[in-house]
Amino acid sequence: MTSNTVESPIRIAVIGCGRIAGHHCRSISINSELELTSVCDLDEAKAAAYGVEFNVPYFTSYHEMLRQCQVDVVAVITPSGMHFEHAMDVLETYGKHIIVEKPTFMRLSHLDEVYALAEEKGVKVFPVFQNRYNKAVQRVKKGIERDELGSPRVVSIRVRWCRPQRYYDLSAWRGTFSHDGGALTNQGIHHLDLLRYLFGEVKGVCTKMATLGADIEVEDAAVGVFNFASGAVGTLEVTTSARPDDFEASISIVGSKGLAQIGGIAVNELQIYTPDPQACAVSSEDFSGCVYGHGHENIYRNLADVILRGGGHLVRQKDCASSLALLHAAYLSDEVVGWVDVGAFGESTRLGRPDDLISDLYRTAKSG
């Protein structure tokens, strides 16, 4: 199967019916070039809920779903540590395009294997980093490209969210290094990706991680400093131990010509923009109804453009690899207790390590 054999509407199936799956389903359903064909989850009640809401067949086995339904693209929205296994199986067995939720894959080596197999099969991989498309982020990106802010000098990330013990107790994969990662992998990965997207590559990091608000093996707090290849410096604060609610996810830049601050619950408000203060109101969005925002709609529009018209990927393999390299460098820094050059020491020994006891809970037999 190759991308030029697909016609509109592109038929999409969803594997994994957690909370974010509904956002995928809605983003597909409102696009006339796409068609949601089916949904699947090992928990029949979850699959049925989305099947009924979107009036599509639902399954508890993705093998059964992909044998019975006509599908062009599979959205892999399973636990993070299962993305690699599920993506490889969908590519190898069924030869479908795949869209993969953040953090895409837990390890850089997984990313390389998936993209290599996709190329062999003649299909595409679409990573999800939806916050890139927030209005505030896009306005700052445009300002940087126009040199409105000048050269970055100091950049700061601050994520103060709440994930109490009951959140981690929802599923066996949560709060594990093998299948979840902590605050930096599950929540902060968006902001690490935005660092690179907005300000260029990070050269080195020095981080300290701690577990302060829940009984889990991974971090729920990470602080650190980093330096960019450009010479700019930055600070990092990411935690899910805030109580009692989510408070903010912000990025600020002190540039040689001005200052910008993106804040709100999920980098959705342009709070300060000194080159053009009037841009703040028109470049802010209300995410009170959905912290995921509207970026998934852009991701699916790009998917249609790439598959139907040969357009360019908004998130490329190199983007994904560089963000994962930065993520692993942050964990490596905590492990060696010192500065780590991004990409110099490979992968963290903790993040994405195999654990078949957990993986077996989310595997589906091909005969099922």
Query: Which helix (H) or strand (E) element contains residue 8?
Result: none
Instruction: Please check whether residue 296 is in contact with residue 130, taking contact to mean a CB–CB distance below 8 angstroms.
Output: yes
Q: State pLDDT tens for residues 152-165.
A: 999 999 999 999 99
Q: How far apart are alpha carbons 39 and 323 in whole angstroms? A: 29
For residue 268, give its domain range.
Answer: 131-291
Structure confidence at residue 237 (pLDDT): 98
Structure confidence at residue 326 (pLDDT): 98
Classified as helix, coil or strand, 159 is strand
Same domain assignment for residues 144 and 191 = yes
54 falls within a domain = yes
Q: How far apart are alpha carbons 61 and 363 in whole angstroms? A: 9
Q: Which of 233, 229, 225 is nearest to 200 (CA)?
A: 229
Same domain assignment for residues 192 and 311 = no
Q: State pLDDT tens for residues 55-100.
A: 999 999 999 999 999 999 999 999 999 999 999 999 999 999 999 9
From residue 338, give the alpha-carbon distance in Å to each of 135, 225, 307, 310: 36, 11, 44, 44
321 falls within a domain = no
Residue 245 has pLDDT above 50, yes or no: yes
From residue 341, give the alpha-carbon distance in Å to each of 136, 204, 338: 30, 4, 10
Residue 4 has pLDDT above 80, yes or no: no
Same domain assignment for residues 256 and 228 = yes
Q: Which of 244, 248, 225 is nearest to 136 (CA)?
A: 248
Same domain assignment for residues 153 and 280 = yes
347 falls within a domain = no
Instruction: Please check whether residue 90 is in contact with residue 66, taking contact to mean a CB–CB distance below 8 angstroms.
Output: yes
Q: How far apart are alpha carbons 162 and 183 in whole angstroms? A: 10
| Percent of the residues in the chain that have a pLDDT greater than 90, as a whole number | 95
249 falls within a domain = yes
- State the average pLDDT over residues 196-221: 98
Tally of domains in the chain: 2
Q: State pLDDT tens for residues 213-228.
A: 999 999 999 999 999 9
The residue ranges of DSSP E strands in the chain, in sequence order, are 10-15, 34-40, 58-59, 73-76, 97-100, 125-127, 152-160, 202-210, 221-228, 233-239, 248-255, 259-263, 269-273, 340-341
Same domain assignment for residues 179 and 37 = no
Residue 368 has pLDDT above 80, yes or no: no
pLDDT band with cut points at 50, 70 and 90 for residue 13: very high
Q: How far apart are alpha carbons 59 and 43 in whole angstroms? A: 9
Same domain assignment for residues 21 and 56 = yes
Same domain assignment for residues 175 and 124 = no
Same domain assignment for residues 233 and 274 = yes
Please report, for the domain that includes residue 205, its CATH number: 3.30.360.10
